[in-house]
A and B are shown apart, each in its own frame.
Chain A
Amino acid sequence: MTNNALGRPDFDLIASWVQPGERVLDLGCGDGALLKLLAKDRGARAWGVELDDANVLAAIKNGVNVIQSNLEEGLAGFEDGAFEHVVLSRTLQTMRHTEGILAEMLRVGRDVVVSFPNFAYWKNRMAIMSGHMPVSEDLPHEWFNTPNVRFFAIPDFEDLCQRMGVTIREREVLDDKGNLVTDEPNFLGSLAVYRLRRGA
């Protein structure tokens, strides 16, 4: 891992995109670690959405604004353009309504930040080549207990963005140690982090 104290290298990237005073909505916020970072270190106004009881409890213990709700049901209740940033960190691959949640994020947020494990990372490719489903730093589950229901790679996601008429403002790709990858991102990158906006 990197020197990231939280052990979530994408958090530092996301935090660097958020300006003090901005409103952030973190979808699938888990125990609220990113919310805490954004609120304390970046001076942002941050709320999270989480479904799992244990995570909601952990987030409340962390003293962050967590809202218990099911993302698969959309973001009803949040108004259009209510947030400067809407974050979906390592969660898109667990959702069935992929386009639906992206459209909802683009509705309520100015910038949409999405991170996901790159299925085409070389170690994952090696695993498949050796005849097994990949288990890695960014895909930590076995096939029988994974929460992931969508498996996709960097170019696949970018195709979808194009189809949805979404502009990619920024893209950062990390290897499984959390180091930035510049060359051959779809081969050397384990985790992709995007910053998107509505429209071309």
Chain B
Amino acid sequence: MSIPPDSVGAVVAQRAHFDQPLPLKSGAVIPAYDLAFETYGTKNAAGSNAILVCHALSGSHHVAGHYADQPGNVGWWDNLVGPGRPLDTNRFFVVGVNNLGGCHGSTGPSSPNPATGKPWGADFPMVTVEDWVEAQARLADHLGIEAWAAVLGGSLGGMQALQWAISFPERVRHCLVIAAAPRLTAENIAFNEVARQAILTDPDFHGGNFYEFGVRPVRGLRLARMLGHITYLSDDQMAEKFGRKMRNDSPSYGFEVEFEIESYLRYQGDKFAGFFDANTYLLMTKALDYFDPALATGGNLQAALARARAKFLVASFSTDWRFSPSRSREIVNALVHNGQDVAYANLSSNFGHDSFLMEDRQYHAVMRAYLEGIGT
């Protein structure tokens, strides 16, 4: 496999250990924890060129490049990050981090609980977007980064970027909020709840302690992912890609895979269920549901964002119905009301919510233009 010259190339995952207990929003405390992270590019002497990339529901710290022993394992936002790419690692020191509660190397429900020696399982405390940002701030301290040149993310990652600007106004110079929302709608929470019920009712879930039974709730996880996946795509894109195409010329009048869309969803579900931790999925969806920075200001998003000192880029995608453009406009409107700096791109894209991961010409041009304007 040849490596494009604008790829960051082979990367190595790192891990930081934190001994200081982390008090969580729920009231629980994590006594100690590890965060898995990766970095690309070189930190300048002043530490003023650092950019944090926050991941969404199923992402990880592996944002760009590949592992030397796994050339096919390419980072989830590789098309954005690299030397000469829109997030240019020739200029910026880019940090990806796996969130607390994750299943890619950071402390999470599948990690051993120091109190019992067994996996945390159901005992792993609920983590919120605010908690993640607190943990990420400690990673910033660890890396000697006083203030991020930018914090960016898509979807749930965009919510973290927004939370950063609110929680640590003096530590974020630019905030890039892509395909996100200031809080989920009831419909959105409803999708998450169906996904959670699929996992929670799987007999192999064992109340979250399936590790000790040597099983995994793959059926529930698979269903959760199939449902989620539908909501990340657009009707147009599905029609174009699959339509009513069938595998055979004539219908079989049974329940085996027949329509191409069925085959695709089952494949996606199986693939995801093969590696993702069910408890992490539950936690991530709950973090999405709980996210509501305006709650502390009586539902007033303007007041919540008034603390922010960052300049903002907000972007949405025309066919994204899970995090629709109007939700991004809520953020933009609140910022304009406050007299804050914001650029907003509402991008035409066929790929629904997943558009934020795609390499669209206008999208990437907007990202490049905005990021080029950030001083280091």
Please tell me which stretch of B117-125, B216-224, B228-236, B362-370 contacts chain A, meaning at least 4 of its Cβ atoms lie within 8 angstroms of it: B362-370
Please tell me which stretch of A63-71, A92-100, A152-160 contacts chain B, meaning at least 4 of its Cβ atoms lie within 8 angstroms of it: A63-71
Q: Is the CB of A65 within 8 A of B341?
A: yes
B354-372 contacts to A, CB under 8 A, are 362, 365-366, 369-370, 372
Q: Is the CB of B346 within 8 A of A69?
A: yes
Q: Is the CB of A82 within 8 A of B337?
A: yes
Cβ of A57 under 8 Å from chain B: yes
Cβ of B30 under 8 Å from chain A: no
Q: Is the CB of A78 within 8 A of B336?
A: yes
Q: Is the CB of A56 within 8 A of B366?
A: yes
Rounded to whole Å, the gap between the CB of A107 and the closest CB of chain B is 15
Cβ of B339 under 8 Å from chain A: yes
Knowing A60-B345, A65-B341, A65-B342, the reply to whether A47 touches B336 (Cβ < 8 A) is yes
In the complex, which of the residues B332, B337, B372 contacts A67, with contact meaning CB atoms closer than 8 Å? Answer: B332
Task: Give A62-96 as 1s and 0s: 1 = Cβ < 8 Å from B's Cβ atoms.
Answer: 01111111000000011100100000000000000
In the complex, which of the residues B329, B339, B341, B365 contacts A57, with contact meaning CB atoms closer than 8 Å? Answer: B365
Cα–Cα, bound, A47→B369 (Å)? 18
Q: Is the CB of B336 within 8 A of A67?
A: yes
Rounded to whole Å, the gap between the CB of B255 and the closest CB of chain A is 45
Q: Is the CB of A68 within 8 A of B373?
A: no
Which chain B residue has the least Cβ–Cβ distance from A23?
Answer: B339
Which residues of the other chain, B, contact A53 by a CB distance below 8 angstroms?
348, 362
Knowing A65-B343, A67-B344, A68-B346, the reply to whether A60 touches B370 (Cβ < 8 A) is yes
Knowing A53-B348, A53-B362, the reply to whether A60 touches B343 (Cβ < 8 A) is yes
Which residues of the other chain, A, contact B201 by a CB distance below 8 angstroms?
none
Count residues on chain B whose CB falls below 8 Å from chain A CBs.
21
Task: Give B317-351 as 1s and 0s: 1 = Cβ < 8 Å from A's Cβ atoms.
Answer: 00000000000010011001101011111101000
Rounded to whole Å, the gap between the CB of B180 and the closest CB of chain A is 16
Cα–Cα, bound, A113→B255 (Å)? 65
Q: Is the CB of A56 within 8 A of B337?
A: no
Cα–Cα, bound, A53→B349 (Å)? 12
Which residues of the other chain, A, contact B336 by a CB distance below 8 angstroms?
47, 65, 67, 77-78, 82
Which residues of the other chain, B, contact A67 by a CB distance below 8 angstroms?
332, 336, 342-344
Q: Is the CB of B362 within 8 A of A60?
A: no
Cα–Cα, bound, A144→B92 (Å)? 47
Cα–Cα, bound, A192→B336 (Å)? 29
In the complex, which of the residues B333, B337, B373 contacts A60, with contact meaning CB atoms closer than 8 Å? Answer: B373
Cβ of A14 under 8 Å from chain B: no
Q: Is the CB of B345 within 8 A of A56?
A: yes
Q: Is the CB of B339 within 8 A of A45?
A: yes
Which residues of the other chain, B, contact A77 by a CB distance below 8 angstroms?
329, 332-333, 336
Which chain B residue has the least Cβ–Cβ distance from A64?
Answer: B343
Which chain B residue has the least Cβ–Cβ distance from A39?
Answer: B341
Which residues of the other chain, B, contact A56 by a CB distance below 8 angstroms?
345, 366
Which residues of the other chain, A, contact B344 by a CB distance below 8 angstroms?
66-69
Cα–Cα, bound, A64→B370 (Å)? 10
Rounded to whole Å, the gap between the CB of A17 and the closest CB of chain B is 20
Which residues of the other chain, B, contact A79 by a CB distance below 8 angstroms?
337
Rounded to whole Å, the gap between the CB of A47 and the closest CB of chain B is 6
Q: Is the CB of A60 within 8 A of B346?
A: no
Cβ of A59 under 8 Å from chain B: yes
List, sorted by A's number, 25 A–B pairs whose CB atoms are closer than 8 Å. A47-B342, A53-B348, A56-B366, A57-B362, A57-B369, A59-B343, A60-B345, A60-B366, A60-B369, A60-B370, A61-B369, A63-B373, A64-B343, A67-B332, A67-B343, A67-B344, A68-B344, A68-B346, A69-B344, A69-B346, A77-B329, A77-B333, A77-B336, A78-B333, A82-B337
Which positions in B face A, CB cutoff 8 Å?
313, 329, 332-333, 336-337, 339, 341-346, 348, 362, 365-366, 369-370, 372-373
| Top 6 A-B pairs, shortest CB-CB distance | A77-B333, A60-B369, A68-B346, A67-B344, A61-B369, A63-B373
